[in-house]
């Protein structure tokens, strides 16, 4: 992976941001979103999200009042949409850390336009994800049994249970993601503080800016801290979804009991995370007119990333089938060839597995759709990538549904085979998490710089120490002086 330090003109490369963009332009564009009155689009979206959040509240109240039976979960499908949604949201939460941490370590400067965004998304997605394990229990008021809290019963949780590992993995991930996000925000909070025109804003942003003055010493400490957190976050990107995949991989259920799951889940998570970042980015970019900061070039790179992870996921799908066939395990073969593929193994009544369509939906969205990104025209077309990113998100949801439901609904003993039908409450709970996510997200774009101001400035042509040697335009003498210190 070559670093994007500066474009190599000979290769036809250009700067990420259009030439002529000044540091002030960046500050104005990004900080302005938090300072100007919200556009009507924001209000519409916010009220919509808030209503959906309300729906979720109602669905949860009903769930707590009646019990998990209001969902479609049954025997043998004891987990269905609840855990599907959990894994899906957790997966989505992966892009943020990946973009912030791993791409940071690889000095991929193009990440700067999207990392804040992606990190926020991570935090909110993990919150949405964390909701499901908490509410899917039969007696949620005893959820605290899952935490190793010293108690009079002298009972510890079962540290052998992958669900227990989940608790640690997800809570660690959430903590680190929040801290990492916050550390990155400090210089930008300072910018907002400095631009504040009323006392409340000043005090509030001032509080979160932790007395940031943009001193060299601050920058030095900041950069070091950021690097350390990037270092801590990087293994988490791999570990969280690996641990989540252990929920399945360590079980005995055919279709779950698969050693390929950890890398497969991580690839899928990055894949879906990028897709959702893309979807949201395209919307915000249009609503807040940030086309100059999040450019087609950024999007093109992201699309390449999705193509790559999509291929990885496709490989994992193929490998599962190979192993099922190669293992000669009749139960596993049944799950893959009958439950998932549908044909290939008809049951004795000559029937396809009734949920075969979920598998095809997944393959179409996750393997077929990303292939369009082999073409540059598709990679640079906003409508195409918008549709593709949504399809990939749907496909990744189906991936989890396929793994969870189409493994359990027909497993070892045919006498216990069942079927799964979701209920309205299932749908409302899932939709409701979008309410939670978008409410938080809209509040974020409204009140917090949605793009890392300081970091974007670092990618401006003027920020480069060898500006002149690289042949940048001399007409912009101010540019080099501005970055990376915040304006004013």
Partner 1 sequence: MTRRNSYELSPGKGPSMWRTLEDKNTDPDELKRLAEEEKPGGFVTDLLSPKTLVSRRSFVQGSSIAALAAGLQGCLRRPENEILPYSKAPEYLVPGIASHFATVTARGRDALGVVVTSHDGRPTKVEGNEQHTRSFGGTDVRAQAYVWDLYDPDRSQSPAQRRGNALVNSTDAAFDEALKGLVKKHEGDEGAGLRFLAPISNSPTFRRMRGQVLAKFPKAKFYTYSSIDDDNVREGARIAFGTTVYPAYDYAQSMVTVSLGADFLGNEPGSTVAGRQFAARRTITNPNAAMARLYVAESNYTVTGGMADHRMRLPSRDIERFTRLLAAELGGRGVQGLASLSKSLDSTDREGIDTAFLRAVADELVANSGKSIVVAGSGQPPVVHALAFAMNQALGNANKTVRLSPVIDESDTPSREGIVALAAEQASLTTLFILGGNPVYDAPADVKFAELLGREGLTSVHLSSHRNETSERSSWHVPMAHELETWGDQQALDGAVSVQQPLIAPLYGGRSAVELLATIAGEKAANGHDIVKATHAEAMDKTTSALLLYGFNPQGLSEAQVWRAGLHTGVLFKPGVGQGGVQENAFAAALASAKGRSTKLGKGNFEVTFEPDPALFDGTHANNLWALELPSPMTKLVWDNAALLSPGTAKALGARNGQMLRLSKGEGRVEVPAWIVPGHADNSITLTLGWGRTAAGRYGNGKGFDVGAIRTSDGMSFTDGVAVEVLGEKYNLVQTQTHDRMEGRPIAIDATLDEYKAEPDFASYRSVDPVSTPPLWKQQDYSEGHKWGMVIDLNGCTGCNACVMACQAENNIPTVGKIEVERGREMHWLRIDRYFVGDDENDPEIAVQPVTCQQCEEAPCENVCPVNATVHSPEGLNDMAYNRCVGTRYCANNCPYKVRRFNYLDWHGHLDDKFGWYKDFPESRKLQFNPNVTVRMRGVMEKCTYCVQRIQAGKIAAKREGRFLKDGDIKSACQQACPTRAIAFGDLNDPKSTVAKWADVNRNYKLLAEIGTRPRTSFLARIRNPNPKLKGNG
d(CA 282, CA 114): 11
Of 347, 296, 277, 242, the residue nearest 99 (C-alpha): 277
The SS3 call for residue 221 is helix
Contacts of 284 (CB under 8 A, 6+ apart): 117, 290, 445, 450
d(CA 299, CA 229): 26
Min separation Cβ 433 and partner 1, Å = 19
Using CB under 8 A, which of 418, 471, 477, 478 touches partner 1?
418
Taking CB under 8 A as the binding criterion, the range among 14-22, 245-253, 376-384, 388-396 that sits at the site for partner 1 is 245-253
Taking CB under 8 A as the binding criterion, the range among 17-25, 68-76, 293-301, 377-385 that sits at the site for partner 1 is 68-76
d(CA 266, CA 274): 12
Min separation Cβ 172 and partner 1, Å = 16
DSSP 8-class letter at 37: P
Site size with partner 1, rule: CB under 8 A: 56
Q: Is 325 near partner 1 (CB under 8 A)?
A: no
The SS3 call for residue 474 is coil
Taking CB under 8 A as the binding criterion, the range among 191-199, 276-284, 418-426, 464-472 that sits at the site for partner 1 is 418-426
Residue 391 tokens, joined = 């399809």
Min separation Cβ 68 and partner 1, Å = 5
Q: Is 328 near partner 1 (CB under 8 A)?
A: no
Q: Which is nearer to partner 1, 11 or 252 (CB)?
A: 252
**Residue 22 and residue 292 in contact, taking contact as beta carbons nearer than 8 Å:** no
Q: Which is nearer to partner 1, 161 or 292 (CB)?
A: 161
What is the separation, in whole angstroms, between the first and last Cα of the chain? 36
Using CB under 8 A, which of 61, 105, 155, 210 touches partner 1?
155
Min separation Cβ 418 and partner 1, Å = 4
Q: Is 156 near partner 1 (CB under 8 A)?
A: yes
Q: Which is nearer to partner 1, 158 or 198 (CB)?
A: 158
Min separation Cβ 134 and partner 1, Å = 10
Using CB under 8 A, which of 77, 114, 442, 445 touches partner 1?
77
Q: Is 135 near partner 1 (CB under 8 A)?
A: no
Using CB under 8 A, which of 414, 471, 477, 478 touches partner 1?
414
DSSP 8-class letter at 453: H
Q: Which is nearer to partner 1, 200 or 252 (CB)?
A: 252
- CA distances to 47, 79, 137, 211, 430 from 131, rounded to whole Å, are 22, 15, 11, 34, 11
Contacts of 251 (CB under 8 A, 6+ apart): 257
**Residue 274 and residue 300 in contact, taking contact as beta carbons nearer than 8 Å:** no
Taking CB under 8 A as the binding criterion, the range among 39-47, 208-216, 328-336, 384-392 that sits at the site for partner 1 is 328-336
d(CA 53, CA 277): 21
Residue 251 tokens, joined = 């079980």
Q: Is 402 near partner 1 (CB under 8 A)?
A: no
Min separation Cβ 357 and partner 1, Å = 19
Q: Write the Ramachandran bin of 449: left for phi over 0, alpha for psi from -120 to 50, otherwise beta.
A: beta
The length of the chain in residues reads 488
Q: Is 234 near partner 1 (CB under 8 A)?
A: no
Of 220, 217, 196, 216, the residue nearest 208 (C-alpha): 196
d(CA 239, CA 97): 12
Min separation Cβ 176 and partner 1, Å = 22
DSSP 8-class letter at 18: P
Q: Is 139 near partner 1 (CB under 8 A)?
A: yes
Q: Which is nearer to partner 1, 256 or 274 (CB)?
A: 256
DSSP 8-class letter at 270: H
Q: Is 411 near partner 1 (CB under 8 A)?
A: yes
Using CB under 8 A, which of 94, 136, 379, 464 touches partner 1?
136
Taking CB under 8 A as the binding criterion, the range among 14-22, 62-70, 358-366, 467-475 that sits at the site for partner 1 is 62-70
Binding interface with partner 1 (CB under 8 A)? 66-70, 72-79, 133, 136-140, 142-143, 145-146, 155-158, 160-164, 167, 247, 250-253, 330-331, 334, 347-349, 408, 410-419, 421
């Amino acid at each position: 992976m070559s670093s994007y330090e500066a474009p190599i003109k000979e290769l036809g490369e250009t700067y990420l941001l259009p030439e002529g963009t000044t540091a002030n332009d960046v500050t104005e564009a990004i900080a302005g979103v938090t300072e100007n009155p919200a556009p009507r689009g924001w209000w519409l979206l916010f009220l919509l999200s808030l209503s959906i959040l309300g729906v979720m509240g109602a669905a949860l109240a009903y769930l707590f009042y009646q019990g998990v039976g209001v969902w479609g979960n049954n025997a043998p499908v004891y987990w269905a949409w609840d855990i599907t949604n959990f894994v899906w949201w957790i997966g989505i939460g992966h892009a943020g850390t990946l973009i912030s941490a791993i791409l940071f370590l690889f000095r991929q400067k193009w990440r700067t336009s999207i990392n804040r965004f992606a990190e926020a998304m991570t935090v909110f997605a993990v919150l949405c994800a964390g909701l499901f394990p908490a509410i899917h229990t039969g007696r949620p008021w005893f959820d605290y049994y899952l935490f190793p809290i010293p108690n009079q019963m002298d009972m510890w949780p079962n540290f052998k249970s992958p669900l227990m590992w989940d608790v640690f993995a997800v809570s660690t991930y959430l903590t680190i993601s929040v801290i990492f996000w916050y550390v990155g925000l400090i210089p930008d909070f300072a910018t907002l503080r400095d631009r504040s025109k009323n006392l409340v804003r000043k005090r509030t942003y001032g509080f979160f800016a932790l007395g940031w003055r943009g001193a060299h010493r601050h920058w030095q400490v900041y950069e070091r801290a950021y690097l350390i957190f990037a270092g801590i976050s990087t293994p988490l990107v791999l570990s969280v979804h690996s641990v989540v995949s252990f929920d399945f991989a360590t079980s005995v259920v055919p279709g779950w009991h698969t050693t390929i799951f950890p890398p497969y889940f991580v690839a899928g998570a990055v894949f879906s995370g990028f897709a959702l970042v893309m979807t949201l980015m395209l919307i915000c970019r249009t609503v807040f007119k940030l086309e100059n900061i999040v450019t087609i070039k950024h999007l093109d790179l992201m699309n390449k990333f999705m193509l790559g992870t999509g291929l990885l996921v496709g490989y994992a799908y193929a490998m599962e089938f190979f192993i099922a066939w190669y293992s000669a395990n009749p139960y596993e073969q049944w799950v893959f060839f009958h439950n998932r593929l549908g044909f290939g193994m008809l049951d004795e009544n000559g029937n396809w597995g009734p949920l075969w369509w979920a598998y095809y939906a997944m393959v179409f969205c996750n393997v077929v759709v990303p292939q369009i990104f082999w073409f540059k025209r598709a990679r640079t077309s906003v409508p195409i990538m918008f549709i593709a990113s949504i399809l990939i998100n749907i496909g990744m949801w189906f991936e989890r549904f396929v793994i969870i439901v189409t493994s359990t609904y027909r497993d070892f003993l045919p006498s216990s085979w069942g079927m799964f039908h979701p209920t309205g409450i299932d749908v409302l709970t899932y939709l409701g998490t979008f309410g939670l996510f978008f409410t938080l997200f809209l509040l974020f774009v409204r009140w917090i710089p949605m793009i890392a101001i300081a970091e974007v400035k670092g990618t401006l042509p003027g920020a480069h120490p060898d500006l002149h040697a690289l042949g940048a335009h001399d007409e912009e003498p101010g540019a080099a002086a501005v970055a990376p210190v915040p304006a004013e």
